[in-house]
Amino acid sequence: MNRRPVNLFLCSLLLLAWSGAARAENADREKPIHLESNRVVVDDATQTSVFEGNVELTQGTLQIRADKIVLTENKQGYKHCTATGKPASFRQKHEGSDEYMEGYGERIEYDTLSQTVDFYVHARVKRAQDDVQGNHIAYSTRTEVFQVSGDPNNINDPNKGRVHAVIQPRNKEAAENPIENNAPLTIQTSPTLSKPKP
């Protein structure tokens, strides 16, 4: 019996439920990218910069830490960042909350044009108590959808070939009182406005 499609389908459902509350901070896209490292080589001809040694990239609430970051820019000004480390890390605040999404991988690809982040090799993404692990995790900051896959070369190894996910139950109080949490606005009289003249 082939259990892999069923497992991928169930994992996809869980991740879609998880991604519903995982909006990336929209204002980050409009902020400049800052980089710090021990050394940098800038090639203006190819629009490529290579940062090495304790590299930190920040863009608003977004932060990437790595041993090495290669940053390229296309003619339209969109940037593509490849971060490598043991592991490299990614962190970004969620829109409208104090919660952060954290991700790890030996390679992280961040693209400002497609608004995607990809985590490769020992990939892991955490949000609060939720935790997803796999060989490759693709995350769209625009659609807020995660896709996770195991290593197809190690499908029989439970530690490498399969996807692992821990999704915590939703807040019981919020689930029991949905009206209070999403209460409609009420209309009230204003003491500062006068009545219109007839």
Query: Which residue segments constitute the domains of the chain, with CATH numbers given?
Result: 4-172 (2.60.450.10)
Name the token pair of 183: 């209460």
Q: Half-sphere exposure (CA, 13 Å, Cβ side) for 183?
A: 6
Q: Do 78 and 113 touch, CB atoms closer than 8 A?
A: yes
Q: What is the pLDDT of residue 197?
A: 57
- Of 117, 120, 98, 94, give the one whose Cα is nearest residue 107: 120
Residues 34 and 196: their CA atoms lie apart, in Å, by 54
Whole-model pTM above 0.75? no
Asked whether the predicted pLDDT for residue 24 surpasses 80, the reply is no
pLDDT band of residue 49 (cuts 50, 70, 90) is very high
Average pLDDT, the chain: 78
pLDDT band of residue 198 (cuts 50, 70, 90) is low
Secondary structure of residue 3 in the 3-state scheme? coil
Name the token pair of 154: 């190690």
Task: List CB contacts of 14: < 8 A, sequence separation 6 or more.
Answer: 165, 167
Secondary structure of residue 176 in the 3-state scheme? helix
SS (H, E, C) 105-173: EEEEEEECCCCEEEEEEEEEEEECCEEEEEEEEEEECCCCCEEEECCHHHCCCCCCCCCEEECCCCCHH
Q: What is the pLDDT of residue 93?
A: 86
Residues 11 and 43: their CA atoms lie apart, in Å, by 42
> Which has more confidence, 125 or 178?
125
> Which has more confidence, 154 or 36?
36
Name the token pair of 132: 């997803």
> Which has more confidence, 196 or 96?
96
Name the token pair of 177: 């009182």
pLDDT band of residue 7 (cuts 50, 70, 90) is very low
